[in-house]
Amino acid sequence: MLKKLLLNEPQPEESGLLREASQDIERFRRRLHDYNGRQKEGATPKYRRIELWTSGLMMSLSELDQSVYAAGRYAERIRKTSLSNMTEEEQQDYYLHVYYYKNAFIRLFSLFDKIGYFLNDLLDLQTEKTKPRFSYFTVLRQMQKNHTEEKLANTLYSLKDRYDEPLRKLREQRNTEIHFMNAEMQDDLLRVYEKYNPKEPLENVKQNMADLRQGLEAALHTLREVFTESYRRIAESQA
């Protein structure tokens, strides 16, 4: 992970849930890579795709973690309650926080959807026949409908329910950002609004960051469950 590189800080070792999730993904990737390499006629298209999906998920997790970290570090520098009370440097920190915060919640749901595509391929769910453009949550419903890996599906649904509130708020912000107004337009409108409403308070940055970190935590728990089960399936198929 390169999250500290963005702020020119020393690179720490991964720890806690992030480290555990990364290790689970890498353990599965290595097992599958070794299996693919042992096939005399080459890896099957499915297992080659899944290996590529796994590498992509690892990169996506790194990018999400970097964005959450940077959003949090810039949030720590925000002391004022409105832009009009900030110095130019403080405003710069605020805009950088907003940039990484938005980047993070977009990447969060992108990661979830990639997990969905991974599961759809691994479990042969064929969700695309029901809905050509599907999300992670569509895949969960498909697992439940098909009674596929019911234990895993129930665990993933429990995680979804546990983190429902922060994920719902973040998803609403993501939908607004992507579907209704782009980031540049929002920033322009914010500047105009601040000009005519100079004392208007900023959004609750602390609460936003709490929701974002909860979203990351939900993703990490989800990845752990998915790749622990995926490793078991691959190990059993190769026994």
Q: What is the pLDDT of residue 1?
A: 46
Residue with the two structure tokens 């925000």: 78
**Taking the model in full, what pTM does it have?**
0.87
Q: Name which of 144, 116, 105 is nearest 97 in CA terms.
A: 105
Digitized pLDDT (tens) for each residue of the chain, 239 residues in all? 445 556 666 666 667 999 999 999 999 999 988 878 777 666 688 888 999 999 999 999 999 999 999 999 999 999 888 888 888 999 999 999 999 999 999 999 999 999 999 999 999 999 999 898 999 999 999 999 999 899 999 999 999 999 999 999 999 999 888 876 555 555 655 665 555 455 556 788 999 999 999 999 999 999 999 999 999 988 877 65
What is the C-alpha to C-alpha distance for residues 65 and 115, in angstroms, rounded to an integer?
Answer: 16
The domain spans of the chain are 3-238
Contact indicator for 99, 207 with CB cutoff of 8 Å? no
Q: How far apart are the first and last CA of the chain?
A: 33
Contact 120, 90 (CB under 8 A): no
pLDDT digits (tens, 9 = 90+) for 76-101: 999 888 888 888 999 999 999 999 99
Separation between Cα atoms, residue 102 and residue 35, nearest integer Å: 39
Q: Provide the pLDDT for residue 222.
A: 98
